[in-house]
Structure 1
């Protein structure tokens, strides 16, 4: 029996995901929970496990294709399955829910962004080993939209009348050159119409002819020969490189705009002599009881923030505009801004206020490792209550960090520098850093923000002060 697995809701109301790579091919036997694909949401790359034991019948989306939640993703040939749940999909810990399973032959999806008429067969892109280049190497053309039989019939082709297969840049080139793709024979794999096919048909098979069709401001279109462009979305156009706005970058942009135009933000700065903290860090690294743990300045700053939040709870709250309520959290999900090959992400450590220094060091190390490997789950990127961003790793001293939407505060930690500083009535070389605190002025008054920042500074200037604050 054929079972069609629809793209599941991967959490936080995400409406679509991009297929990054397939781990299976049609005809391949798979076991229950075997990883079959990697998909990228606006927040994270997620591994999808197989909901069945069976054989892959068809893949309904190329790598690089954006698929809406609830639309067909992959079909299985399942032996002995029935409709009363004999082989229903099993939820994984990092997935909020799976899309509905439907029998083949059901009513076509309405306004699906991916056509199921031309399933991917053996043409599966290989995942790039370098995460920074994975997005480019895996980019592939999106399939043409398919309208349901009862709507837009005149405007869009049905699966049986699919328009010639080509990529967006090739369609743009054909339009610029006045070429009807219906008349062009595709020489690419499975009849794909390539750029060369269009140029050959039009007689403009030179780079000069392609350039004449449109300039750089015309968008992803004719590409000069040798420019290194691909036929994926975007690409090199003349002296410009255009890339689609999607994935983490799209999510980050939306979040920053929302933050800037909803919360009145104030930033305060405090420069602190952290020599005692750095000396403590050295002792911790040499302590055998902490062998194998990775202690960094961020570890101790994070602990100081958690102590200061307990004494200044307004920094750990949320302005609920819809309910017209102020939500005071009695827990801390500590967000750590992470620069990854996919862009900026902010995973958070759940219930960080409960962790010892040892447990916090382990949690931070795991968070960093997963972020670098692009394996942070949507659940780990959701539900944060306060964020730390470590700009010091880039050699930056201070800045005005933007609030993560929904949070009352964010602390930027600058670089630790040796510089002349007044110490015990004399000038000495000390290790100094600057803290930059941004907060939502609807929730946090200047006094409250200042007291929080001062508390963090006091702890870092003299770690023993923690004993007076807990």
Structure 2
């Protein structure tokens, strides 16, 4: 029988995702939960596991295509109840034995459509840990559409022939390449792609234009004089502008920052602290064999100081609920850490960070950073944060006015640690100094509360022993 897999909501209400690459081709046999595609949502790059075990019949979308949630992206031929693949009616391209999702539900069988984490597997009997943002969705109860290759009457052709039937309908290219081809009057169906899996690149389009009869639009563009030399500018001339489509993580981040900046009344306070005792503590911890193998950094200590200060100033671990006209105070801390990645700014968070020891926090920070840099952060890790830290010190910056992560009441920017002349015990000495910048939502947090929280964090960093007076 033929089964369609529709693009699921891979996050909290996301409406679309971009197909980055397919890991399978038409005719491939795939196992349950085998990774079949890599897609980019507005929050992260996600690997899509297969919800079925069977044979790939059709890939409905090409890499570079932005697909709305709920649209079919791939069709499978899966065994029927008897374990054998259904026979195909070559006259109509239909699978007589195929049943729709509604029939499957009536028979007590659950369609294994997913939200980014694979099909349902049998429970091991162990209690599940608390999880937010994971949910299964059912396929709409409608008959599955037939793949183009089968409808064309070629079910028996070899894999290569069937791939040609599918891909010839829509050459594989990205939106910028399609725009370039349109501007040059080039039919992409005539262009041979040299990229992975036949993907057509900008150079392929330019080479096609330069190597054959030019369409009228291309001749016009080629004949435009170069203002600097009065000669036609050829394909080898460097582009004077680079245009990057606003999509994915960048699009989501921009929208979130605009919404935050123009919704929450931001207040930013600054505190410069002598953190020499904290740096001395780090040096001692690193030399202690009990902490061998742990990556302890100033950010680790700052994160722990934030968690301790929140116990005394819980209003900063809150959010403003406009719809409910309530202030929601969280009794747990999902600590967000802003991370600069090749795909843009993301803020994954450490779930229940307030329950972690210093070494546990160190391990969580290391795993979070490595995952973000590798582009493997999951939507669940990017959702549900309650307060955030951004480490601008790694760029050599001392202070800033950070914008709140939407849904949070506070964010702390951590500046660089610098050797500076500082008053110490009545004299001027060279000390290690850091500036902290705290932005908070003034609807939720009063100036007194924000100031006390920032002072507590500073007091811990200036003298770690002060923790004994706070817990």
Q: TM-score, normalised by structure 2?
A: 0.78
Aligned twin of 1:104: 144
**Residues 6, 98 of structure 1: 8 Å contact kept:** no
Aligned twin of 1:84: 104
1:322 lines up with 2:327 in the alignment: no
SS of the residue corresponding to residue 456 of structure 1 reads helix
Q: Quote how far apart the aligned CAs of 1:321 are.
A: 0.7
* 1:378-406: CA deviation from partner (whole Å, max 9, x where unpaired): 01000101000000000000001111111
Q: Quote how far apart the aligned CAs of 1:226 are.
A: 1.9
Q: Residues 201 and 324 (structure 1 numbering): CA distance in 2 closer, same or farther, change over 3 Å?
A: same
User: What are structure 2's unaligned runs of at least 5 residues?
Assistant: 82-98, 119-132, 149-163
Aligned twin of 1:158: none
1:410 lines up with 2:411 in the alignment: yes
Aligned twin of 1:379: 380
SS of the residue corresponding to residue 455 of structure 1 reads helix
Q: Residues 408 and 467 (structure 1 numbering): CA distance in 2 closer, same or farther, change over 3 Å?
A: same
Aligned twin of 2:64: 64
Structure 1 CA distance for aligned equivalents of residues 234 and 442 of structure 2: 52
Aligned twin of 1:32: 32
Aligned length: 403
1:226 lines up with 2:266 in the alignment: no
Structure 1 CA distance for aligned equivalents of residues 331 and 28 of structure 2: 49
Q: Residues 319 and 373 (structure 1 numbering): CA distance in 2 closer, same or farther, change over 3 Å?
A: same
Q: TM-score, normalised by structure 1?
A: 0.79
Aligned twin of 2:180: 169
Q: Quote how far apart the aligned CAs of 1:90 are.
A: 5.9
Aligned twin of 2:192: 188
Structure 1 CA distance for aligned equivalents of residues 189 and 452 of structure 2: 71
Structure 1 CA distance for aligned equivalents of residues 234 and 323 of structure 2: 51
Q: Residues 103 and 197 (structure 1 numbering): CA distance in 2 closer, same or farther, change over 3 Å?
A: farther
| Deviation larger for 451-460 or 424-433 | 424-433
**Residues 111, 139 of structure 2: 8 Å contact kept:** no
**Residues 9, 99 of structure 1: 8 Å contact kept:** no
**Residues 184, 217 of structure 2: 8 Å contact kept:** no
Q: Residues 212 and 285 (structure 1 numbering): CA distance in 2 closer, same or farther, change over 3 Å?
A: same
Structure 2 CA distance for aligned equivalents of residues 457 and 200 of structure 1: 70
Q: Residues 224 and 18 (structure 1 numbering): CA distance in 2 closer, same or farther, change over 3 Å?
A: farther
Structure 1 CA distance for aligned equivalents of residues 222 and 29 of structure 2: 45
* 1:344-402: CA deviation from partner (whole Å, max 9, x where unpaired): 00000111111111111111000001000100000100010100000000000000111
Structure 2 CA distance for aligned equivalents of residues 185 and 15 of structure 1: 30
**Residues 51, 87 of structure 1: 8 Å contact kept:** no
Aligned twin of 1:202: 215
Q: Quote how far apart the aligned CAs of 1:428 are.
A: 1.1
* 1:279-310: CA deviation from partner (whole Å, max 9, x where unpaired): 11111111111111110100000000001111
Structure 2 CA distance for aligned equivalents of residues 359 and 399 of structure 1: 29
Q: Over alpha carbons, which structure has the higher Rg?
A: 2
SS of the residue corresponding to residue 279 of structure 1 reads helix
* 1:11-43: CA deviation from partner (whole Å, max 9, x where unpaired): 200000001111111111110001111110000
Aligned twin of 1:160: none
Aligned twin of 1:432: 433
CA RMSD of aligned residues (A): 3.2
**Residues 58, 121 of structure 1: 8 Å contact kept:** no
Map of 1:191-340 to 2, 5 A cutoff? 194=205, 196=208, 200-202=213-215, 209-210=221-222, 212=224, 225-227=235-237, 238-340=239-341
Structure 1 CA distance for aligned equivalents of residues 286 and 214 of structure 2: 68
* 1:80-124: CA deviation from partner (whole Å, max 9, x where unpaired): 255526573264278643562654338x9xxxxxxxx98448999
* 1:246-284: CA deviation from partner (whole Å, max 9, x where unpaired): 011101100110011101101100000001101111111
1:141 lines up with 2:164 in the alignment: no
Q: Residues 28 and 419 (structure 1 numbering): CA distance in 2 closer, same or farther, change over 3 Å?
A: same
Structure 1 CA distance for aligned equivalents of residues 35 and 411 of structure 2: 36
Map of 1:342-381 to 2, 5 A cutoff? 342-381=343-382
